Amino acid sequence: MRVLIFCAHADDEVIGMGGTIRKFANAGAQIRLVMFSAGAEGYVTLAEKDTIVTRRRREAEAVCGILGITEYVNLGQLDWDLRVGNELYHAVVRHIRAFTPDVIFSHFYSDYNDHQAVSKVVQEGWFHAAAPCAMIEGDVHSMAPLFEFEVVHRMPSPSLVVDITDTYATKVEAMGCYASQLEHVGGVFQLMEGRALERGSLIGVQYGEAFLRNHYRPGPVTKVEQMLGF
């Protein structure tokens, strides 16, 4: 099984779907994480300005080890400058066609700023990776389901909730690696637990993570969705 995850910033993948990532890894999946931002604006004091990108890369690499992510790529973009445009569109198409995923994950379309931009450009790249265009980026890859996860803004009507009761502690451990960001995202552990408890209650388990299947281009139920309990 091959899982491809696109997210804007280092820590989005943990908040949004850290428990589900670990479940995929436990099942033997190959997982590629593509991060759009290098994190250059993620400092809280000027003394950190010249070292923050390196620090955030090291934090992300540690998280990959904890969650079982096998490949990590950073597109080196600037915060507050992530755009729906040709450069990032081609990057999405290229990663989908090169990695040939069984399932793709990205941001909920109604999350904030950079997350919205990533959601939109991933949707367009996902749609066209299965179409005979942009062939400079490789062979067409048959449509894999695209799921959106929630980070900042709560998803009002998820189509899928995954039981992460057995991997929630690993999600918390992974978030602890992002020490440089804990001042930015104050209360994040409270947010994660409250949301996980709420989502878990929807399916009668302790902890859950919510997803929304993108139907910009619909497709059949796949083996991945069956595994996740779709």
Residue 81 has a pLDDT of: 77
DSSP strand pairing (146-149 vs 103-107): parallel
Q: How confident is the model at residue 226 (pLDDT cuts 50, 70, 90)?
A: low
- Read off the pTM: 0.92
pLDDT in tens, 75-106: 988 777 787 788 899 999 999 999 999 999 99
CB 44: neighbour CB atoms within 10 A? 12
Q: What average pLDDT does the segment 57-81 reach?
A: 92
Decide which of 227 and 146 is more confident. 146
Q: What is the share, in percent, of the chain residues with pLDDT greater than 70?
A: 94
Residue 55 has a pLDDT of: 84
Host H or E run for residue 24? helix 12-26
What secondary structure does DSSP assign to 69-92, as a single string? Answer: --EEEEEEEPTT---SSHHHHHHH
Q: What average pLDDT does the segment 148-168 reach?
A: 95
Residue 147 has a pLDDT of: 96
Q: How confident is the model at residue 199 (pLDDT cuts 50, 70, 90)?
A: very high
Q: How confident is the model at residue 218 (pLDDT cuts 50, 70, 90)?
A: low
What is the domain class of 2-228 according to CATH? alpha beta
Give me the residue spans of the domains in the chain.
2-228
Residue 91 has a pLDDT of: 94
Phi, psi dihedrals of residue 182, rounded to the nearest 5°: -65, -25
DSSP strand pairing (71-77 vs 208-213): unpaired
